[in-house]
Amino acid sequence: MVNPQPALAIKLGKLELAYPTLMGSGCYGSGEEFAPFVDLSKIGAIVLKSVTRLPRLGNPTPRLVQTPAGMLNAIGLQNPGIEWYLEHELHKYAGRPCKIVGSIAGFEIDDYAYVCERLAARDEIEAIELNVSCPNVAQEGETFGCDPDLTARVVEAARATTNKTLIVKLSPNVTDIVAVARQAENSGADALAVINTVRGMAIDVETWRPRLGNITGGLSGPAIRPIAVLAVYEIAQVVSIPIVGQGGIETLADALEFFLAGATAISIGTANFTDPRIPERLVAELQAYLTRRNIGSIQEIVGRAHVEIATAHQYEGDEG
């Protein structure tokens, strides 16, 4: 008798996905660009590029720098603003064979509430992701996601505007990401996206100038994977909402690390720039892996790497 395929379907709050694979914000366009190469029905969801209340031209170029194990980007949230977006962009997403998640960025708490209410009201959008890695203009530019209380206020403000699934995307550029995760859950988040890019920079040694027009940027790709896996592992121990793990996923083994650390789903960003077929391949490889090990569903492996450290081996901190 042939065993049924292992179940890959998962839920993020009310959002039901056929596959546990999301395409990271800013890394998959509208999906339309990839349609000639990829079966979009094999993708759990596409998270759209973050949109803001007002149009943004983005940062000066260069905006991308390749690094040994990933890349630095400083796009600067270039987008046409919510009004234009609703009128001219969103209709493109109707009838997509995978779910569409809108992403919001803002510079004041009220921005998040305003954009969330307008975007979530549209049928094309199944869920909302809050990108809290932006400076708060009312508080000397402090990044929302760096302060648990500011994060809480953003989440509460957005939560009040919609019943659709709210995913809060956490920044790793903090001292205690677990504290921010806890506050996001307490304030009404249905799921957490862990992690956004890690701050970094690169310098041109001929011109003696920073290589990014914005001077600093966000590092993504395999270089940040261990940071992301640790964040998922630690956050999974304190929250009960699902986590979308991300940061440098390219292969089946990379994806499995995140599930075993405690992620219910994974998101692929930078890898799409070199191989847009990765999402489709990962789904097939996940099925084969679970079948080979006689595991009935992806949910059975979530968090299975959690272990107690034996007292005799406990250190005050990590080596180095």
Positions that interact with ligand FMN (CB under 6 A) = 24-27, 49-50, 73, 75, 77, 103, 131, 169, 196-197, 220-221, 224, 246-249, 268-271
Position of minimal CB gap to ligand FMN: 26
**Shortest Å, Cβ 164 to ligand FMN:** 17
**Shortest Å, Cβ 117 to ligand FMN:** 19
* Residue 198: how many other CB atoms lie within 10 Å: 19
Residue among 27, 98, 116, 134 flagged as catalytic: 134
Which lies closer to ligand FMN via its Cβ, residue 148 or residue 217? 217
**Shortest Å, Cβ 92 to ligand FMN:** 17
Provide CB contacts within 8 A for 64, sequence distance 6+.
Answer: 71, 72, 73
Is residue 134 flagged as an active site residue? yes
What distance in Å separates the CA atoms of residue 59 and residue 103, rounded to the nearest whole number? Answer: 19
Sort 108 into a burial class: Cβ within 10 Å, 0-12 / 13-18 / 19+.
middle
Which lies closer to ligand FMN via its Cβ, residue 44 or residue 248? 248
**Shortest Å, Cβ 3 to ligand FMN:** 32
Which lies closer to ligand FMN via its Cβ, residue 6 or residue 191? 191
**Shortest Å, Cβ 131 to ligand FMN:** 4
**Shortest Å, Cβ 204 to ligand FMN:** 20
Q: What DSSP string describes the chain?
A: -PPPPPB--EEETTEEESSSEEEPTTSSTTSGGGTTTS-GGG-SEEEPPPB-SS-B--PPSP-EEEETTEEEE-----B--HHHIIIIIGGGGTT-SSEEEEEE--SSHHHHHHHHHHHHTSTT--EEEEE--SEEGGGTTEEGGGSHHHHHHHHHHHHTT--SEEEEEEPS-SS-HHHHHHHHHHTT-SEEEE--PEEE--EETTTTEESSTTS-EEEESGGGHHHHHHHHHHHHTT--S-EEEESS--SHHHHHHHHHHT-SEEEE-THHHH-TTHHHHHHHHHHHHHHHTT-SBGGGGTTTT--PPPGGG--SS---
By annotation, the residues acting in catalysis are: 134
